[in-house]
Chains A and B, each alone.
Chain A
Amino acid sequence: MLLARIDGVIVSTVCHPSMHGCRTVICQPLNEHGGAEGAPVLALDRHGAGQHQRVLVSTDGAAVRAHVGDEHSPLRNSVIAILDAAP
């Protein structure tokens, strides 16, 4: 799992059907000091994380497929938790 920060959101009308109805957020991975590290990744957000909130991003495709209920979904990253305390 990745410790990441929500840095933005994307809008896409033409996309894979399993993405419909879900919010896709831009997650910036963070290092242990909370600083940005590496290129941002896109993730499916089902918990309504707000802008600049720290979240846990799972890279397990099977969990996303189970959540969207589509065995043919190409997605991999999903926001699975919103962090309270700073690392």
Chain B
Amino acid sequence: MRLGHVIGKVTLSRQDPAYLGGRFLLVQPWNTAKYAKPAAPQPSDAGLVVYDALGAGVGSIVGFTEGSEASKPFTGPTPVDAYCAAIIDEVFHQPPK
């Protein structure tokens, strides 16, 4: 699982039937510099679209998983490879000096 900032939402006009009722978030993953200074704006590198079933809004920090594990929460086979597993309230990050 990785952390990311929600910077937008994605609305699909035509979609795979397995996506019905799904929400999609545009997420910018945190890189190493962002962990050091979470408040500082991060230069925009590649964002990704994450399937969301928890109701995260723009600006919140989410923990998302990728790969085949991201399609496990669905009953049937679903083409999803990034799934929002948690909406993060607090991040305590203190690497050793």
- Where the two chains meet, the residues of A that have a C-beta atom closer than 8 Å to any C-beta of B are 5, 7-16, 19, 24, 26, 28, 36, 38-43, 51-52, 61, 64-65, 71-77
Contact = CB atoms under 8 A, between A and B. Distances in A.
Interface string B54-78: 1100000001010111101111000
A27 to B, nearest CB: 10
A15 B95 contact: no
B90 A24 contact: no
Interface in B19-36: 29-32, 35
Interface of B: 1-3, 29-32, 35, 54-55, 63, 65, 67-70, 72-75, 83, 85-96
Contacts of A13: 87, 89
A39 B45 CA distance: 14
Q: Which 7 A-B pairs have the closest CB atoms?
A: A15-B86, A8-B93, A61-B69, A11-B90, A12-B86, A42-B1, A14-B87
Contact of A36 (B1, B63, B74, B95): B95
A5 B96 CA distance: 10
A71 B69 CA distance: 10
Given A13-B89, A75-B65, A39 B30 contact: yes
A74 B83 contact: yes
Contact of A7 (B54, B67, B87, B93): B93
A10 B92 contact: yes
Contacts of B67: 61, 76
Given A24-B1, A42-B2, A73-B73, 5 more contacts: A10-B3, A13-B87, A15-B85, A19-B86, A75-B69
Contacts of B68: 61
